[in-house]
Amino acid sequence: MEKKSYIFSEISFKILNEIAYFDQVWSREIFKEWFNFQYEINEYDEKFLKELIKINEYRMDFYSELQLSLHFISPFLSRVGLNTKYFSSWFETKLQGIINGYKLKGNLDFMLASGKLKPEIPYFFIQEFKKSAPIPKHPRGQLFAQMAVAIENNKINKIRGAYNIGRFWFFVVLEKIGVSKYQYHESKAFDSLDIEHLKQIFIILKSVKHKYCKL
């Protein structure tokens, strides 16, 4: 019997666990190496971050997903500066693949990947969600489905990503541990409207670029 196909936006965490086995690791040890990146934010970047908070702090809870992206996330990612000669930020790009016989496909909110004119090797994903509550589907399902497809397509065993629910950001690491078996690690929440947390998010994303984007 042929298995179902899903687009990423349909995938709840319940559906995700019907597709394959996803287990949470109750430890955050894996983030010590990732987050331990020595980077000093200069006064101009800090001024930008403070202004970004000032402009958005009373509006963010009412933003649509598009407004959240255009007013906050996109300017923030541009300031982080993830693009290089060999790696690019890809918004609303397409991805598809097979997980345990299920065909998964759809558009991605954001992917950092190698490639000049089209994405090749993925390194990092972000799944956006517009409000903190109520949430019809938790963004984990969509994000982990995308990351699992990237793992299978590129024959790797680990990939990093993040999801945000309104002002709160969570970083994740997804690992393949067997045939159609994965485990994920999830960071604590970072409040992007708190300047110290936003500076941490900034540095964490810088570390993705400098530590893990390797050809």
Q: What is the mean pLDDT of the chain?
A: 92
When pLDDT is cut at 50, 70 and 90, the band that residue 110 belongs to is very high
Tell me the mean pLDDT in the region 188-213: 96
pLDDT at 81 over 80: yes
Q: Which of 191, 187, 148 is nearest to 171 (CA)?
A: 187
- Residues 128-151, buried b or exposed e (16+ Cβ, 10 A)? bbbbeeeeeebbbbbbbbbbbbbb
State residue 163's pLDDT score: 95
Alpha-carbon distance of 6 to 161, in angstroms, equals 21
pLDDT for 132: 45
Q: How confident is the model at residue 118 (pLDDT cuts 50, 70, 90)?
A: confident
Q: Which residues pair with 112 in a beta bridge?
A: 89, 124
Domain boundaries, the chain: 5-212
Torsion over CA of 13, 15, 20 and 24, rounded to 10 degrees? 10
> Quick check: 134 pLDDT over 80?
no
